[in-house]
Amino acid sequence: MTVHNNEISEKFSRFADLIEIQGGNPFRARAYREASRVIGDTSEQVDQMVKEGRNLTELKGIGGDLAGKIKEIVETGHLQLLDEMENEIPASLLELMNIPDLGPKRIAMMHRELGIDSMEDLKKALEDGKISSLKGFGKKTEQKIFTSISRPKKETGKRFLYVDAAPSALACKQYLEKRADTNKVDIAGSFRRGKETVGDLDILVTCRNGSEKDIMDAFVSFDEVVHVYEKGDTKSSVLLRNELQVDIRIVSDDSYGAAMHYFTGSKAHNIAVRKLAVRKKYKINEYGVFEGSRQIAGKTEKEVYEAVGLSYIEPELRENLGEIEASREKRLPRLIEEKDIRGDLHMHTTRTDGRNTLHEMAVAAKELGYEYIAVTEHSQKVAMAGGLNEKDLREYLTYIDAANDEIDGITILKGIEVDILQDGTLDLPDSVLRELDIVIGSVHYHQRFPARQQTDRIIRAMDNPYLQILGHPTGRLLNKRDAMEIDLEKIIRAAKEKNVVIELNSQPDRLDLPHNYCKFAADLGVKIVISTDAHSKEGFRFMKNGIREARRGWLEKEDVVNTRSLGSMRELVKR
């Protein structure tokens, strides 16, 4: 059985939550939470390490006990301690974990002090004004919780972060590709378009004639499949262990391009292409492009587009947001690629909440071929991450100087991720900010201000001449927290006026600046930086997430500052 890293990570994170809800040992909870982060960031497949008999304690932060728990999950698919604890805690209490403003510690306090075991209990306590009486809550927190549970639930089904769907997508693809009777195996749908979240997977297959039934029999028997919705000769639909639905279709070689176009979508894009076909008196469907009953195209996607007078359109652009007109007028963008990136301007080391030292981060970046990095620790406001005050930062700058002398082949820039305070001032004085190469300003606290107040706060921060980059501007956390209420177009226009670069943060649950605003910013001439916000050397691999979002936002190499040489990049970010 294949057990993906994100499955192990989720079990450890869940166990840490339950320890806190039960009021257990906080150091034990912290150890499991750290292990969750380590496994989630690890690029190697941990289950393969187990199968090869390797020592898991070579993973930073994983001791003998945790290594044993990982082995248990890989070999059984379960963590017995987690199963036992979930049986002990009422399911209705665990439902409260889905409320954005309630973490396990707060749930534990409400349960202990007020006997709250369910959503109904919570609603009654809110009506009676009891929540604000708890230590560390207050009226504002009470109102936030009330707003969260009063907000209408979205009717859409469960959606997975792209990075959480990717291991399953790759596993299904590789499983089918290993068969001698399959020819092409590709993933279509929103996954191929690179959407931030994925509802299901669409897999298309071409195969040797007569092998269709064998392929379908094999696929529904795949070890990650837990339920078969439908099984046919050329189409099957299944549910994977992680609750992701997968639809597989076998198509002919002559129809492969048409099927890839049709099942990649988006629906709006496909409708726009079909309208062009109708004008030529053609018909387009998943089987091809037809003039009457005669198929005139469909073997490749390029053929499909050419049949209606268009050049090939990259999957990431297929949202009917101007790509049809751009293709017809031969002005499609030459989309940025990961190989264009020459440095990373946002990361954290062990000096604050990172898991690798400055030296380890610099060497890892150098191995990726980067010319420069900026080390941007948190400022003092983020106390829980060990944020730096002015004295700490000045001391760290001398450490960076020493590292630059010791490590050849890469330049380490002096930076900070400084908090934007609630009045729009920055968390450190100008006297130290002016000494830095890179200053990122980010909002981490007071994210529930009304739109006008929040917008004014951010624009006021950009008035500071030392703030060069606006970090993760919407503050969203996909599937966890909505974006801040802000006038983002106004903020982007202000960035243009003040010559501030805007970050596209590549963390998989951020992808912030969102793709539609990437296009808006680039059209205005605002420069973007694609950063990983890496908290470990493994975190550098998140750059591909940012590139994917940038491509969805029509960004070209020239729109992004960290595709430039060190000297050119410095000029672009200089105020």
Query: Can you give the CATH number for the domain in which 86 is found?
Result: 1.10.150.110
Amino acid 535: pLDDT? 95
Across 313-317, 383-387, 514-518, least confident range: 383-387
E strands in 131-244: 160-161, 182-187, 197-198, 200-207, 225-231, 235-240
In the three-class reduction of DSSP (H, G, I as helix; E, B as strand; rest coil), residue 37 is classed as: helix
Mean pLDDT of 383-392: 93
In the three-class reduction of DSSP (H, G, I as helix; E, B as strand; rest coil), residue 225 is classed as: strand
Q: Are residue 506 and residue 364 in the same domain, yes or no? A: yes
Choose the final residue of a domain: 93, 115, 150: 150
Mean pLDDT of 144-150: 82
The rounded distance, in Å, linking the Cα atoms of 396 and 415 is 10
Q: Are residue 164 and residue 182 in the same domain, yes or no? A: yes
pLDDT of 190 over the 80 cut: yes
246: domain CATH number is 3.30.460.10
240, 246 contact by CB (below 8 A) = yes
E strands in 251-326: 283-285, 288-291, 294-297
Q: Are residue 431 and residue 395 in the same domain, yes or no? A: yes
Q: Are residue 196 and residue 290 in the same domain, yes or no? A: no
User: How many structural domains does the chain have?
Assistant: 4
Amino acid 137: pLDDT? 87
What are the backbone angles phi and psi of residue 458, rounded to the nearest 5°? -70, -40
Amino acid 157: pLDDT? 61
Q: Does residue 541 sit within a domain?
A: yes
450: domain CATH number is 3.20.20.140
* pLDDT above 70 coverage of the chain, percent: 99
Q: Are residue 214 and residue 323 in the same domain, yes or no? A: no
Higher-pLDDT residue of 145 and 567 is 567
Mean pLDDT of 42-67: 89
Amino acid 91: pLDDT? 84
The rounded distance, in Å, linking the Cα atoms of 13 and 161 is 16
Higher-pLDDT residue of 60 and 524 is 524
Higher-pLDDT residue of 451 and 137 is 451
**pLDDT tens track for 448-487:** 899 999 999 999 999 999 999 999 999 999 988 889 999 9
**pLDDT tens track for 347-377:** 999 999 999 999 999 999 999 999 999 999 9
**pLDDT tens track for 202-246:** 999 999 999 999 999 999 999 999 999 999 999 999 999 999 999
pTM value is 0.87
pLDDT of 383 over the 60 cut: yes
Torsion angle defined by CA atoms of residues 3, 7, 8 and 9, in that order, rounded to the nearest 10 degrees:
150
Amino acid 456: pLDDT? 98
What are the backbone angles phi and psi of residue 14, rounded to the nearest 5°? -60, -40
469 half-sphere exposure, CB direction, 13 A CA radius: 33
